[in-house]
Chains A and B, each alone.
Chain A
Amino acid sequence: MLDTMIEGAIAFMLIAGGAFAFIGSLGLTHLKDFYMRLHGPSKTTTLGVGCTLIGALIFFSREDGPVIQELLITIFAFITAPVSAHMLAKSALHHKLKPDPRTRGNPVELESEKPRHTIEESPQGDSPLP
């Protein structure tokens, strides 16, 4: 009975991880602009890989005691995914990638550069002489 429950937990974790990773990659392929596309992999795929690793942890600690090495990769992935997403967003803002009209937010970095001085300068030199 207990074995069946543990096997069910492992199977659930593996399928949930696969489904989350697939949904994240589907978002990466399907969404419109970079700022939307950043959401799928940085949240969903991390959760999917974490679920799969926890399933592997339960699988390997069934036979001979707890095995916690897999937890190491899970923690590492959960720490590093936001950092790399932040760096990707910064580089996208630096390159001034065009947002879709439906993307909300209006970051300063994306505003088009307007001339600072609005004083009208009188044309010099190329105006016809009166």
Chain B
Amino acid sequence: MIDTALWIALALFCAAIVLNFYRAVVGPSLPDRILAVDTMYMNSIALIVLFGIWVNNKDYFEAALLIAMLGFVSTIAVCKYLLRGDIIE
């Protein structure tokens, strides 16, 4: 049962990443692209965790935590750059 659910979840997350990539390429404005990349790293966290379930290894959670922290900091940095024209004032 878990195998089937794992495959369905993997397919859904891959489709979600493809949709995010479409928005990141097409997106008419700069905040659209930032939002698409933000969503893409959230989805890749889930993909890495699903891969950890697939190979039955709980060490992959550290990679997911690293991606979460770096992604949040980079999103805030780019937004700050758009708002103020500078990151650290």
Tell me the A residues contacting B by CB distance below 8 Å. 4, 7-8, 10-12, 14-15, 17-19, 21-22, 24-26, 28-29, 34, 37-38, 41, 45-46, 48-49, 52-53, 55-56, 59-60, 67, 69-70, 72-73, 76-77, 80-81, 83-84, 87-88, 90-92, 94-95, 97
Contact = CB atoms under 8 A, between A and B. Distances in A.
B88 interface: no
Contacts, number: 162
- Which label, helix, strand, loop or mixed, suits the secondary structure of the B interface? helix
Q: Kindly name the residue among A25, A38, A81 whose own CB sees the greatest number of chain B CB atoms within 10 A.
A: A25
Contacts of A41: 35, 38-39, 42
B55 interface: no
A97 B43 contact: no
Interface residues of B, number: 48
B80 A87 contact: yes
A41 B36 CA distance: 8
A98 B48 CA distance: 36
A73 B64 contact: yes
